[in-house]
Chains A and B, each alone.
Chain A
Amino acid sequence: MRFDRRQFFRTATGALAYASSMSLLKAGRVYGAEPIRVGNILDKTGGLNIYSLKQIAGVAMAVDEINAAGGLVGRPLELVFYDSQSDNQFNSQYATQALAKDKVSVIHGGITSSSREVMRPIVRKFKGLLFYNSLYEGGVCDKRHVSTGMVPAQQLEPLVDYVVKENGKKKGYILAADYNYGQITSKWMQKLIREAGGEDMAVEFFPLDVNNFAPVIAKIQSAKPDVVWSVLVGGAHIAFYRQFEATIGKKNMMLASTTYGVGREQTELSPQEGDGIIIGTSFVDSLPTDAAKSFVAKFQKYVGNNEYVGEYGEYGYRGVNLWAAAVKKAGAADPDAVIAALDGVSFQGGGGLYTIDGKTNHTTMDIHIVKGNASQTFDVIKSFPQRPPKDTQLVCDLSKNPDDTTQYEPKI
């Protein structure tokens, strides 16, 4: 049942140890060169680890592969992992330790937007580099920050177009998690829905520990929208999908989401509860491409089980490889050299081609509209190749303002 997880744990920990020992061996032997330390700060324990566990393995797998192929610029990689325990105090402490004491060349880390915002000033203070491998609300303009995940222009725009324009679901009711990701994403949603000719009837915010959605479901039934938009996050909010199906039902009202599936929620709900939810994504296991299939096979072999991998697992792998490509281009691993080499760096991964845009340090990628099905995976409905991070590009230009560190928010 859930005991595969223990297996995965042992394998992942073993893999981490293996990865580090491999590089240590190499460091001593063949190259004699100083290893490049890659810091990885993710939540292995605590409520947020439903997002991180696969990413931890993805990062380890990437580091392993690179080392097996001879390392980077003649040096082996050494993975240094820190468990932030779903607590921002540790994100803060470990980011400082990673940069000040362990002297890592890059930090791949942060799941929630709050952890990213805690680490950014620290990365700035110590002149490091942060790869934030997570989808988020967009707008961060900071040369020491690279985003490899989806931003609203990529994920939301095609999704809203599909739902509102193509399917005519004009009246929307938005439910969002009550923190900056939910707040800003819902603003984007309102903006895009209005631009597509629809109407945002209401926006409601829910703290992360709320699991009783009976009142808002009653409100929704009162308001009678065409579609419910979910920007809900975390384990407690999964109850909404359950309660929605038990009352209104997706047959009677469309349900679209930006976050569903990212925490592998479909594996926890019944097939009926997950069937029919529409999301925008840059990677699901069931993408009908060879790249996706081989990535999933490789990943499952690496961790030793058949569990659904998901977008966040792929983000970890993607992020490390994009950084590695930049290091190769720069010929050096130190943060400032890598930052200067970021523009145009690309990597072919499970979800297609990813390219970093140096003006914003965000990533262009393929986007897909997918729908949950009764087999607890997703069917691809529509694909959009190579969508650029347009929302951040409109407000951010690091070539003109290299010292910008703001996070821009949409005004509606």
Chain B
Amino acid sequence: MGANAASRPRASWWVVVGVVLIAAILAPYYLITDISDQIDISIIFVLALLALSMSFLWGYAGILSFGQTAFFGLGGYAYTVLALNLHETTFSFFAAIGVTMLFAAVLGYFMIYGRLSDIYLSVITLVVTLIFEKAIKSTSGDQYVIGSVRLNGQNGIPTVPSLQIPWSGTELSFDGVFILDAVLLILVYAGLRLLLITPFGRVLVGIRENTRRIELLGYDSRRYKLGAFVIGGGIAALAGVLFGVWNNFVAPEMFGLKRAAEVIVWVIVGGRSTLVGPIVGTAIVQYLQNKLGTQSVGEWLPLILGLVLILVVLLFRGGLLPGIVGGVGWAWRRVRGDAT
């Protein structure tokens, strides 16, 4: 399932996806029945979506976006403002993602059609998310209202409405949220995988491999990059909405440097050349952070994380997981006595 495989997925892939989908739907009822566990795992799904949005752009379109958190936060806040004002969640859900994708289109157009080279583009995405963070943080005063919703600045909005099942008015319970998050993650993953075999996807991979060659073949790389950027923004926005719904609050930290940095760590740990990697990376890091918090050794986390990052970059070129998998594979071959 590597990035170079712009090829049709094998039948076994479909089976695995199907099985995982069914398992995800059944899990809250049979396997993971404790509410607290469901909550701890749901957040991993949500954050994995965010990681996916970043690694998709990076691994497949060659765009290193430091600022996916901008769309993450925008999606969350847009949903909150819409849902609280309209007292309606389904439309707000889609509208929030739509509005954010529109913003991504504008920002992307600005940067990509401005022919900004890689590092400059990355810096601008970072700057944008910082601007959002600073702007939202400064809205503590009571004059900062959109409709009837106070933005609350630093504190964030702790009254984000839970998603209601359409046409029924009942709110999604904890297991419902779990299922929704899991299903959406799986669908987005599958969707991105299948995107790669479409003409659009193949051109994207081509752009990442060698932009000049693709352009000489007659493709306008800017259009495809912009498309990818908007898709990435949409996925991040989806993650943002789900984050807001997860424990009913949104905060400026969603836009912050810390969150932006975490996204990169998840993708590094998991490896950016696969789509599954970042999901695993997110799970590992989040789990560690959660557990260490209750263990009272959370103070060591940045130190350890930093060390891991340095070592991973120096020793594993494609990311931690591919490195480990590769290492295991290598060892396995040696054990079997194959010629390497």
A–B touch (CB < 8 A): the answer is yes
Contact residues of A with B, CB < 8 Å? 13, 16, 44-45, 81-85, 87-90, 92-94, 96-97, 100-102, 113-114, 117-118, 120-122, 178-180, 182-183, 205, 207-208, 409
Can you list 20 A-B contacts with CB-CB less than 8 angstroms, sorted by A residue number? A44-B298, A45-B301, A82-B294, A85-B298, A88-B249, A90-B293, A93-B290, A96-B39, A97-B39, A100-B35, A100-B36, A114-B154, A178-B138, A179-B140, A179-B153, A179-B154, A183-B140, A183-B153, A205-B140, A207-B134
Please indicate the chain A residues that have their CB under 8 angstroms from the CB of B134 in the complex. 207
- Lowest 9 A-B CB distances belong to which pairs? A179-B154, A101-B36, A114-B155, A92-B247, A100-B36, A45-B299, A183-B140, A100-B35, A83-B293
Contact residues of B with A, CB < 8 Å? 34-37, 39-40, 43, 134, 137-138, 140-142, 152-156, 158-159, 247-249, 251, 253, 258, 289-290, 293-294, 296, 298-299, 301
**Do A83 and B296 touch across chains, with their CB atoms under 8 A apart?**
yes
**Do B298 and A178 touch across chains, with their CB atoms under 8 A apart?**
no
**Do A101 and B34 touch across chains, with their CB atoms under 8 A apart?**
yes
Please indicate the chain B residues that have their CB under 8 angstroms from the CB of A118 in the complex. 155-156, 158, 249, 251
Please indicate the chain A residues that have their CB under 8 angstroms from the CB of B34 in the complex. 100-101
Given the complex of chains A and B, what is the CA–CA distance between A99 and B247 in angstroms? 14
**Do A178 and B249 touch across chains, with their CB atoms under 8 A apart?**
no
**Do B39 and A16 touch across chains, with their CB atoms under 8 A apart?**
no
Please indicate the chain A residues that have their CB under 8 angstroms from the CB of B39 in the complex. 93, 96-97, 100
Please indicate the chain B residues that have their CB under 8 angstroms from the CB of A88 in the complex. 156, 249, 251, 253
Given the complex of chains A and B, what is the CA–CA distance between A191 and B159 in angstroms? 29
**Do A44 and B299 touch across chains, with their CB atoms under 8 A apart?**
yes
In the complex, which of the residues A16, A85, A122, A180 contacts B152, with contact meaning CB atoms closer than 8 Å? A180
Smallest Cβ-Cβ distance to B150: which chain A residue: A180
Please indicate the chain B residues that have their CB under 8 angstroms from the CB of A205 in the complex. 138, 140-141
Please indicate the chain A residues that have their CB under 8 angstroms from the CB of B247 in the complex. 92-93, 96, 122
Smallest Cβ-Cβ distance to A12: which chain B residue: B296
In the complex, which of the residues A45, A81, A90, A92 contacts B249, with contact meaning CB atoms closer than 8 Å? A92
Closest chain-A Cβ to B50's Cβ sits at a distance in Å of 13
Which of B134, B152, B247 has most chain A Cβ within 10 Å?
B247
**Do B158 and A121 touch across chains, with their CB atoms under 8 A apart?**
yes
Given the complex of chains A and B, what is the CA–CA distance between A63 and B247 in angstroms? 30
Closest chain-A Cβ to B250's Cβ sits at a distance in Å of 10
**Do B294 and A83 touch across chains, with their CB atoms under 8 A apart?**
yes
Given the complex of chains A and B, what is the CA–CA distance between A121 and B249 in angstroms? 10
Given the complex of chains A and B, what is the CA–CA distance between A200 and B86 in angstroms? 39
**Do A179 and B35 touch across chains, with their CB atoms under 8 A apart?**
no
Given the complex of chains A and B, what is the CA–CA distance between A205 and B134 in angstroms? 13
Given the complex of chains A and B, what is the CA–CA distance between A85 and B298 in angstroms? 7
**Do B138 and A207 touch across chains, with their CB atoms under 8 A apart?**
yes
In the complex, which of the residues B37, B155, B290 contacts A179, with contact meaning CB atoms closer than 8 Å? B155
Q: A97-B36, A182-B140 are in contact. List 13 more A-B contacts (CB 8 A).
A: A16-B296, A82-B294, A83-B296, A85-B293, A87-B253, A92-B247, A94-B293, A118-B158, A178-B138, A178-B153, A179-B155, A180-B140, A183-B141
Please indicate the chain B residues that have their CB under 8 angstroms from the CB of A85 in the complex. 289, 293, 298
Smallest Cβ-Cβ distance to B155: which chain A residue: A114
Closest chain-B Cβ to A289's Cβ sits at a distance in Å of 34
Please indicate the chain B residues that have their CB under 8 angstroms from the CB of A94 in the complex. 293-294
Please report whether the interface of chain A is mostly helix, strand, loop or mixed according to DSSP: helix
**Do A93 and B40 touch across chains, with their CB atoms under 8 A apart?**
yes
**Do A178 and B156 touch across chains, with their CB atoms under 8 A apart?**
no
Please indicate the chain B residues that have their CB under 8 angstroms from the CB of A183 in the complex. 140-142, 153
**Do B251 and A13 touch across chains, with their CB atoms under 8 A apart?**
no
Please indicate the chain B residues that have their CB under 8 angstroms from the CB of A45 in the complex. 298-299, 301
Smallest Cβ-Cβ distance to A87: which chain B residue: B253
Given the complex of chains A and B, what is the CA–CA distance between A120 and B138 in angstroms? 23
Please indicate the chain A residues that have their CB under 8 angstroms from the CB of B142 in the complex. 183, 409
**Do A13 and B158 touch across chains, with their CB atoms under 8 A apart?**
no
Please indicate the chain B residues that have their CB under 8 angstroms from the CB of A97 in the complex. 36, 39-40
Given the complex of chains A and B, what is the CA–CA distance between A100 and B138 in angstroms? 34
Please indicate the chain B residues that have their CB under 8 angstroms from the CB of A84 in the complex. 293
Given the complex of chains A and B, what is the CA–CA distance between A90 and B301 in angstroms? 15
Closest chain-A Cβ to B60's Cβ sits at a distance in Å of 29
Given the complex of chains A and B, what is the CA–CA distance between A122 and B246 in angstroms? 12
Given the complex of chains A and B, what is the CA–CA distance between A102 and B153 in angstroms? 32
Smallest Cβ-Cβ distance to B254: which chain A residue: A89
In the complex, which of the residues A82, A87, A90, A178 contacts B140, with contact meaning CB atoms closer than 8 Å? A178
Given the complex of chains A and B, what is the CA–CA distance between A180 and B137 in angstroms? 10
**Do B253 and A207 touch across chains, with their CB atoms under 8 A apart?**
no
Please indicate the chain A residues that have their CB under 8 angstroms from the CB of B138 in the complex. 178, 205, 207
Please indicate the chain B residues that have their CB under 8 angstroms from the CB of A180 in the complex. 140, 152-155
In the complex, which of the residues A90, A92, A207 contacts B137, with contact meaning CB atoms closer than 8 Å? A207
Given the complex of chains A and B, what is the CA–CA distance between A22 and B140 in angstroms? 44
Please indicate the chain A residues that have their CB under 8 angstroms from the CB of B251 in the complex. 88-89, 114, 118
Please indicate the chain B residues that have their CB under 8 angstroms from the CB of A13 in the complex. 296
Smallest Cβ-Cβ distance to A90: which chain B residue: B293
Closest chain-B Cβ to A93's Cβ sits at a distance in Å of 7
Closest chain-A Cβ to B73's Cβ sits at a distance in Å of 13
Smallest Cβ-Cβ distance to B294: which chain A residue: A82
Please indicate the chain B residues that have their CB under 8 angstroms from the CB of A117 in the complex. 155, 158
Smallest Cβ-Cβ distance to B34: which chain A residue: A101
Closest chain-B Cβ to A288's Cβ sits at a distance in Å of 36
In the complex, which of the residues A81, A89, A113, A121 contacts B248, with contact meaning CB atoms closer than 8 Å? A121
Closest chain-B Cβ to A144's Cβ sits at a distance in Å of 14
**Do B158 and A120 touch across chains, with their CB atoms under 8 A apart?**
yes
Please indicate the chain B residues that have their CB under 8 angstroms from the CB of A113 in the complex. 155
Given the complex of chains A and B, what is the CA–CA distance between A101 and B33 in angstroms? 11
Given the complex of chains A and B, what is the CA–CA distance between A180 and B153 in angstroms? 8
Smallest Cβ-Cβ distance to A177: which chain B residue: B154
Please indicate the chain A residues that have their CB under 8 angstroms from the CB of B153 in the complex. 178-180, 183
Closest chain-B Cβ to A173's Cβ sits at a distance in Å of 18
Please indicate the chain A residues that have their CB under 8 angstroms from the CB of B249 in the complex. 88, 92, 118, 121
**Do B155 and A96 touch across chains, with their CB atoms under 8 A apart?**
no
Smallest Cβ-Cβ distance to B243: which chain A residue: A89
Closest chain-A Cβ to B148's Cβ sits at a distance in Å of 15
Smallest Cβ-Cβ distance to A43: which chain B residue: B298
Given the complex of chains A and B, what is the CA–CA distance between A205 and B152 in angstroms? 14
Smallest Cβ-Cβ distance to B47: which chain A residue: A89
Given the complex of chains A and B, what is the CA–CA distance between A120 and B39 in angstroms? 18
Which of B155, B156, B251, B301 has most chain A Cβ within 10 Å?
B155
Please indicate the chain B residues that have their CB under 8 angstroms from the CB of A208 in the complex. 154
Given the complex of chains A and B, what is the CA–CA distance between A113 and B155 in angstroms? 7
Closest chain-A Cβ to B174's Cβ sits at a distance in Å of 9
